[in-house]
Structure 1
């Protein structure tokens, strides 16, 4: 079955203390977003790649692709008010009968084995997300205090989150609510179960300056 990925890259550089959007910051000499696209291209060189960017950053991205001689074929569309709306815009460019993943543009260190695992499971008709165990102690904060949480029952969610395209497109016909923090939450609200698969610990979301340092250090360990 055909494969597609919608790469959502709508972030700013605020938490990175940079005027440059974080997806355009350099990792190993080129923009983070290019590394992310390459991960999916190396997994499957005929995968349909859709990149979702803020409307006012599309021209900058085109210039970067020219400057860095980046030639991997991909379509670009503009983002929306929230991640939900950005994904919905990206899905408009995806075929109606394929396996589609949704991935954060600033997760350039997802391993090929995790991508493959997610797409293979989704090809059986499942909604699939990669997760890793929680290793820190956790506490739930309430209006009346706080209490420890059993971390053995907690998983940290990563991307790509991968689905049969018809399933995801139907789920995205629901009216938006603030509880839609990722694609799994949208699909779950539609009444479908989520399948968990093992992620890779290096697959961090580059959000703060320390994350960029970590990504550079572990880059060569990701296969």
Structure 2
């Protein structure tokens, strides 16, 4: 089976809103619902788990009913940070899915994800055991030396990693068991991929896109609204 672990455990403080960013409404629908729908509507996705900020679990259950998100089989509460939210999601699945099943760790505030990005993440993970959408930077890169930059960075030597980060369930379970045993979780932030680098693991690339952004700022909300209106306009033309 292919099971997304959708992370909706954060408060989104950088956005400055009165609610977690994944629950901000865009054109009358919460961002998190758009994200879940991307996986709900994907033919290769069998079931969905949402790791949710505890204060909004009841509201999430209402949204699941309202929008008929019937692939959402499990909800568990978020942790104190990204790593612990992933651990909560993984632990909740331990007696529910098999070692060879694939989990896709995805941000709840990343509703731009497309069907082909999800499909390619699954394809590469089946072949290699893990995958992450990745692409080289389309912008010029330079060193950060305080208020100035003194060194050019070859963008062809740098990859921008994104989500869904995809793993065989046995792989990600063992990864976190080893990290906990070695006391790494308090040292390594903020992502599973960061932990993999620190532990000397390889990350395999799958298809990515410039449009697959995570909503972080108010401008990102505006971009997403424009994106939805564009899609609606094209559908009706």
Q: State whether TM-score is above 0.5.
A: yes
Q: How does 1:50-199 map to 2 (within 5 A)?
A: 50-66=49-65, 68-74=66-72, 75-94=74-93, 95-97=97-99, 98-142=101-145, 146=149, 147-173=151-177, 174-175=179-180, 176-199=185-208
C-alpha separation in 2, matches of 1:115 and 1:172: 23
* Equivalent pair of 2:83/2:189 in contact (CA under 8 Å): yes
SS of corresponding position for 2:98: coil
TM-score of the superposition, structure 2-length normalised? 0.84
* Equivalent pair of 2:2/2:44 in contact (CA under 8 Å): no
Q: Which has a greater percent of strand?
A: 1
Asked whether 1:201 is paired with 2:210, we answer yes
* Equivalent pair of 1:127/1:184 in contact (CA under 8 Å): no
Per the alignment, do residues 145 and 20 of structure 1 end up closer, same or farther by CA in structure 2, a change over 3 Å counting?
Answer: closer
Per the alignment, do residues 65 and 41 of structure 1 end up closer, same or farther by CA in structure 2, a change over 3 Å counting?
Answer: closer
Q: CA deviation at 1:132?
A: 2.5
Q: Which has a greater percent of helix?
A: 2
Unaligned runs of 5+ in 2: none
Can you list the C-alpha shifts for 1:68-87, whole angstroms capped at 9, x where unaligned? 44442321111111100000
Q: What does residue 225 of structure 2 align with?
A: 216
C-alpha separation in 1, matches of 2:103 and 2:86: 11
SS of corresponding position for 2:144: strand
* Equivalent pair of 1:184/1:194 in contact (CA under 8 Å): yes
Q: CA deviation at 1:183?
A: 1.8
Unaligned runs of 5+ in 1: none
**RMSD, aligned α-carbons:** 2.3
Q: CA deviation at 1:142?
A: 4.7
Q: How does 1:12-23 map to 2 (within 5 A)?
A: 12-23=11-22
TM-score of the superposition, structure 1-length normalised? 0.88
Higher alpha-carbon deviation: 11-20 or 35-44 = 11-20
Q: Matched residue pairs, number?
A: 220
* Equivalent pair of 1:40/1:47 in contact (CA under 8 Å): no
Higher alpha-carbon deviation: 165-174 or 197-206 = 197-206
